[in-house]
Amino acid sequence: MSFCFNFDISGQANAFPEVDGNKVQSGSKDDGAKYAEVDDDLPAGPVKEAKEHLPPSDPEFLLTDGVFETITIGTLPPLHFLNETVFERTASEREDREKILSHREEKNSDLISGVYEGGLKVWECTYDILEIMEKEGETFSGKTVLDLGCGAGLLGILALKRGARQILFQDYNSTVIEQLTVPNVILNCEEDDEVEGDGEKKGKGKEKKQEDGCVEKGKEDLKSGSPPPKKRATDLSKHPLMRKCLFYSGDWRTFLPLVLKKEPQPKFDIIFTSETIYNTCYYPALHETLHKLLGPSGLVYLATKSHYFGVGGGLHLFETFVEQRGVFSLDHLWDGAEGLQRHVVVLRFKKQNDN
């Protein structure tokens, strides 16, 4: 399997002059300490305000003419999501106050730093976390879960379908939340209703059937047209699964204070974050968000590539950053050895005697 990355980070090339990734990679104590101080001197550049999104009471328009795919991994429940290619082709028909769809087409880029942070694409490492969840047999029963940098929301949707008590979906772009995350959650809520009546079709393994008969590892087609009538709710806001979900967009620096205004302040048993450490400039805000929102015995599952060429971030730099902060321990759950190496790590709070 080969991957192609298209990044445009010129917009923030000098937005964070305090961060020097080369110094962190050198591993010296002094350089690491300097890097750890970045959080106390946030950049003066533009900050995207966070906001909460309420799901529509009539979601039919979000599913009309949608083309969906399904991924099945082992014993995990099937997860449904909008087809990315069709989504791109119908971009002009979608509401996009941020203009990220047109910017993405104009730049021909999967990521435009500070404008569009890649949420419309299901990145490879998402599947790695799903496989880890299947292997560990996590049921999520009664737990609170944060899908941070959620994009399509597959990780949060898995937790929702496996009994989580509350799931919060967060992405940088409001267009991603409104046009991709919410529709995907709606689709899976509707499918859950259908399962109750027809019995669940469980998949073993994972593959995507394409029209030409080829098989692509990772996903399986669900529907090549509009969703069937059973998938069209009249008042989904009252659906028992949807009531467990919260949706937020915005910069982590504004998302965190906004969500902390809730009473009681949320603490999450599990935080998922996949392919969010590609830019070292974001490490302070990400670390602070994890620090403030993770429950005392909670776990952060982070999936990443070893290095993000053209952007500068990667696992080694983030490990160094975490070590210098001294808040979390970090353990490797899985390390891929082939191609562009990928990893899944878990973070947890250090015990007092570990400090």
pLDDT in tens, the chain (355 residues): 333 334 443 444 333 333 333 333 333 334 433 343 444 454 535 788 999 999 876 665 566 667 889 999 999 999 999 887 776 666 566 666 666 665 566 555 565 566 555 557 788 899 999 999 999 999 999 999 999 999 999 999 999 999 999 999 999 988 889 888 998 999 898 766 554 444 443 333 344 433 332 223 344 443 334 444 344 445 666 788 999 999 999 999 999 999 999 999 999 999 999 999 988 999 999 999 999 999 999 999 999 999 888 778 999 999 999 999 999 999 999 999 877 799 999 999 998 655 4
The answer to whether the peptide bond before residue 264 is cis (omega within 30 degrees of 0) is: yes
In a domain, 2, yes or no: no
Q: Provide the residue range defining the domain that includes 159.
A: 52-193+234-349
Contacts of 41-48 with CB under 8 Å at 24 or more apart are: 42/253, 42/284, 42/285, 43/15, 43/16, 43/18, 43/281, 45/12, 45/15, 45/16, 45/114, 46/114, 47/251, 47/253, 47/254, 48/114, 48/172, 48/249, 48/250, 48/251, 48/254
In a domain, 9, yes or no: no
Residue whose tokens read 């101080």: 37
43 vs 172: CA distance, rounded Å: 17
User: Closest Cα partner for 39 from 274, 292, 208, 285?
Assistant: 285
182 vs 180: CA distance, rounded Å: 6
- Asked whether the CA dihedral 290, 321, 4, 72 is positive or negative, the reply is negative
Asked if 198 contacts 175 with a C-beta cutoff of 8 angstroms, the reply is no
Beta-bridge partners for 294: 268
User: Closest Cα partner for 10 from 107, 113, 89, 82?
Assistant: 113
User: Residue 255: in which H helix or E strand, if any?
Assistant: helix 252-259
User: In whole angstroms, how far apart are CA 57 and each of 123, 239, 253?
Assistant: 30, 10, 30
In a domain, 56, yes or no: yes
Asked if 151 contacts 157 with a C-beta cutoff of 8 angstroms, the reply is no
In a domain, 320, yes or no: yes
CATH number at residue 248: 3.40.50.150
User: Closest Cα partner for 276 from 307, 303, 247, 249?
Assistant: 303
In a domain, 213, yes or no: no
In a domain, 13, yes or no: no
User: In whole angstroms, how far apart are CA 122 and each of 84, 153, 275?
Assistant: 8, 9, 10
In a domain, 27, yes or no: no
In a domain, 115, yes or no: yes
115 vs 98: CA distance, rounded Å: 8
Tokens of 190: 């509707």
If one counts the domains in the chain, the total is: 1
